Structure 1
Amino acid sequence: MVLDSDTPAPEGELTLKILADYKSVNSTGDVFGGWVAMQVDLAGEIMAKKVANGRVVTVSIGSMSFMRSVKIGDILSLFTRITEVGKTSIRVVVEAWVEDSEGSAKLTETSMVFVAVDSTGRTRRISDYSA
């Protein structure tokens, strides 16, 4: 990922990287915001599953404001960091960065909450976690 000297670096662990293709765009070539939100949810889930050591479900997603458009061929990189682990829940911050031929820029950021569940979908305790 190429950043110019004025661009802050992403925070967290690179968790998911995906290319925006023709299936993710509207008729004018801009990526749907819902597609970006889906990728954000996937990245958050990947990190939460690591912490929970098993199945998790999304409980909430904070608001997202998009700082630019995303086009076909842009690369979406999602960075995650754990900010809180409770008895059954995990708070994950997800940053989405977009890379195109001109460089990289932050697209959006949100905080998400996941809950650990068992195979029947019932809430379960998270084993000891240390960051």
Structure 2
Amino acid sequence: MPADANAYGDIFGGWLMSLMDSGAGLVAARRAKGRAVTVAMDGVEFHKPVKVGDEVSVYAEITKVGRTSMVIATDAYRRERHSEDEELVTSASFTFVAVDDHGKPRAVDAA
């Protein structure tokens, strides 16, 4: 939407990173079978801009699981409103830690 964009009609990078964090968080919570929190975001690359009106899709995949943490590779793609073609716009790696009800790290169950 226009409120999420700069004067040139490009969506703010922070808005897109928030969307990617949410997508990666869903994957982390499902794998952890409970709450997981973002502790790091690495290797953010903005490949192309997202324009107002574009459809944005986020894809996330677990690439590493430690005792309490998970690394999730996350890519965002844009599709112009009247097109079938998607193009990669942003990539990042998110690290999540599974936490208990008190916010303390807990083990991630084996898959």
Aligned ranges for residues 1-131 of structure 1 at < 5 Å? 21-100=1-80, 101-102=82-83, 103-129=85-111
Q: Find the aligned partners of 2:71 and 2:47 in 1 and give their Cα distance.
A: 23
Q: Find the aligned partners of 1:111 and 1:70 in 2 and give their Cα distance.
A: 19
Q: CA deviation at 1:33?
A: 0.7
Q: Find the aligned partners of 2:49 and 2:108 in 1 and give their Cα distance.
A: 38
**Which of structure 1's runs of 4+ aligned residues deviate more than 4 A?**
none
Matched AA of 1:114: F
Question: 1:55-97: per-residue Cα shift (whole Å, max 9, x none)?
Answer: 0111111122212111111011000111111110011100111
Alignment TM-score, normalising by the size of structure 1: 0.78
Q: Find the aligned partners of 2:29 and 2:96 in 1 and give their Cα distance.
A: 9
Alignment TM-score, normalising by the size of structure 2: 0.91
Q: CA deviation at 1:27?
A: 2.4
Matched AA of 2:95: V
Q: Retained in 1: the 8 A contact 2:44–2:93?
A: no
1:18 counterpart residue number: none
Tell me the matched-pair count.
109
| Consecutive unaligned residues in structure 2, runs of 5 or more | none
